[in-house]
Amino acid sequence: QKEVEQDPGPLSVPEGAIVSLNCTYSNSAFQYFMWYRQYSRKGPELLMYTYSSGNKEDGRFTAQVDKSSKYISLFIRDSQPSDSATYLCQTSYDKVIFGPGTSLSVIP
Amino acid sequence: DTGVSQDPRHKITKRGQNVTFRCDPISEHNRLYWYRQTLGQGPEFLTYFQNEAQLEKSRLLSDRFSAERPKGSFSTLEIQRTEQGDSAMYLCASSFASGANVLTFGAGSRLTVL
């Protein structure tokens, strides 16, 4: 079983839509759960992270962790064309492993 | 601090040549990671260092790949006898090994093997 699994998309939505991005992970020992955003031809950058279970909100973005089902989600409200990027989840600590990323396009 | 720097940004080489990439991490960070990324894929973990110690190298793609961090500061990733399949973006990231271990990435070094 892979450490992190993620639907690679691509996902295409109209501007203003609510977007849901999801990952599953295998190691129940993980405590920190990150989302990175990567624009084309750039390195990934941290978008937000959560510790253990629960929700965290930052502007239009909400990260959600369900440790019982080993499932993490990122919700984007009122999506904008500038949100068009690849979104990567990260769930390990030392040997940092990423999911394959979900490519998102927000169409004006 | 200007963030994580990678050099060169783009390298074009012929098959069979050796290439070396350099990464300068954020000075306060004690961990340094190398990843390979191909089009449409997430970053693929290669190796990482804590200070000068290489703590994981089993995922280096073959014995043609090696990485060093001699003084616990900058790092180099060398690929010997390059093959066309080595064409990819090579990303470096650094972090401080505490709490969430958030990675800061460089812009990457793009390798094209002809």
pLDDT tens digits along B60-101 = 878 999 999 988 889 999 999 999 999 999 999 999 887 788
Cα–Cα distance between B30 and B48 in angstroms, integer? 10
Cα–Cα distance between A34 and A18 in angstroms, integer? 20
The residue type of B3 is: G
- Decide if B48 contacts B67 (C-beta within 8 A): no
**B20: nearest Cα among B75, B59, B62, B94:** B75
Beta-ladder partners of B34: B47, B92
CA distance A89 to chain B (A): 9
Other CB atoms within a 10 A radius of the CB of residue A41 amount to 9
CA-to-CA dists, residue A26 to A29, A61, A64, B109, angstroms: 9, 24, 17, 31
The residue type of B84 is: Q
- List the Cα angle A67/B93/B103 in 5-degree steps: 35
Tens digits of residue pLDDT in A46-76:
999 888 878 899 999 999 999 888 899 999 9
Contact between B106 and A43 using a beta-carbon 8 Å cutoff: yes
Cα–Cα distance between A73 and A35 in angstroms, integer? 9
Q: A interface toward B at CB cutoff 8 Å?
A: 6, 8, 32, 34, 36, 42-46, 49, 51, 86, 88, 90, 93-101, 103
CB pairs under 8 A between A and B: 62
Cα–Cα distance between A95 and B87 in angstroms, integer? 23
- Mutate one of B44, B105, B110 to test the A interface: name it (highest A CB count within 10 A): B105
Tens digits of residue pLDDT in B14-72:
999 999 999 999 999 999 999 999 988 889 999 999 998 988 887 787 899 999 998 88
Residue with tokens 């977007």: A19
Of A44 and B59, the one with more pLDDT: A44
CA distance B28 to chain A (A): 17
CA distance B13 to chain A (A): 20
The confidence score (pLDDT) of residue B1 equals: 55
The confidence score (pLDDT) of residue B41 equals: 87
Contact between B108 and A43 using a beta-carbon 8 Å cutoff: yes
